[in-house]
Amino acid sequence: MFSKKEIEAPGSKTLTIIAEGVKIEGKIYSKGSTRIDGYVIGEITSEKDFTIGKEGKVEANVKTCNAVIAGSFKGEMISAGEVEITATGKFLGNLVQKDALLTISKGGLFKGESIISENQDIFKISESGKPKNSLGTNAPQNIPIGPRVLDKG
């Protein structure tokens, strides 16, 4: 008589796109997937998939489920799922994951530290609270990324 339907959170199927030629400095939060083809500096939280296109450039702390890096990334990424660095992708910084689910295509670059964390709390994504850093705390954490330092607090 009644069928069970999975109820989805509002916005969970949305795709946030930062287009080529657009520069944003600040915090971005998306209940759905996020694609960056422009330039973002700051902090990004994406409840679903996170993609940096070939022309995209991100200097940020990112928290997401899965990620595909085809452009340039600098900072710290916390990913509960798979991370793929394509042949055109450059990842400079730290990657924190639940499991070793990192794929680097021939030509792709990963320079940094890959960390497998047993602290499941850091993978939780919430809009209201500040994303936790790789230590599992809300304390500020400076991440050296060359001539600049991003402040996670």
Say how far apart CA 73 and CA 24 lie, in whole Å.
Answer: 15
Count Cβ atoms below 10 Å from residue 7 Cβ, excluding itself.
5
Mean pLDDT for all residues in the chain: 83
pLDDT at 12: 54
41 vs 25, 59, 90, 102, 123, CA distance in Å? 5, 5, 16, 23, 21
Going from N- to C-terminal start, the domains of the chain cover 15-121+134-144
3-state percent breakdown (helix, strand, coil) of the chain, nearest 5 = 5, 50, 45
Compare 149 and 12 and report the one with higher pLDDT.
Answer: 12
Q: Which residues lie closer than 8 Å to 32 by C-beta, 6 or more apart?
A: 11, 12, 13, 14, 15, 16, 46, 47, 48
Compare 28 and 140 and report the one with higher pLDDT.
Answer: 28
Cα–Cα–Cα angle for 10, 11, 14, nearest 5°? 150
| Averaged pLDDT, 98-117 | 95
Q: Which residues lie closer than 8 Å to 17 by C-beta, 6 or more apart?
A: 34, 35, 37
List pLDDT tens digits, range 49-91. Answer: 999 999 999 999 999 999 999 999 999 999 999 999 999 999 9
SS (H, E, C) 85-137: ECCCCEEEEEEEECCCCEEECCCCEEEEEEEECCCHHHHCCCCCCCCCCCCCC
- Report the run of H or E that residue 75 belongs to, with start and end: strand 72-79
Q: Identity (one letter) of the amino acid at 79?
A: S
pLDDT at 124: 85
Q: How confident is the model at residue 149 (pLDDT cuts 50, 70, 90)?
A: very low
| % of the chain at pLDDT higher than 90 | 65
pLDDT at 91: 98
Asked whether residue 1 carries a pLDDT value surpassing 50, the answer given is no
DSSP 122: G
Give me the residue label for tokens 């915090």: 27
Q: How confident is the model at residue 95 (pLDDT cuts 50, 70, 90)?
A: very high
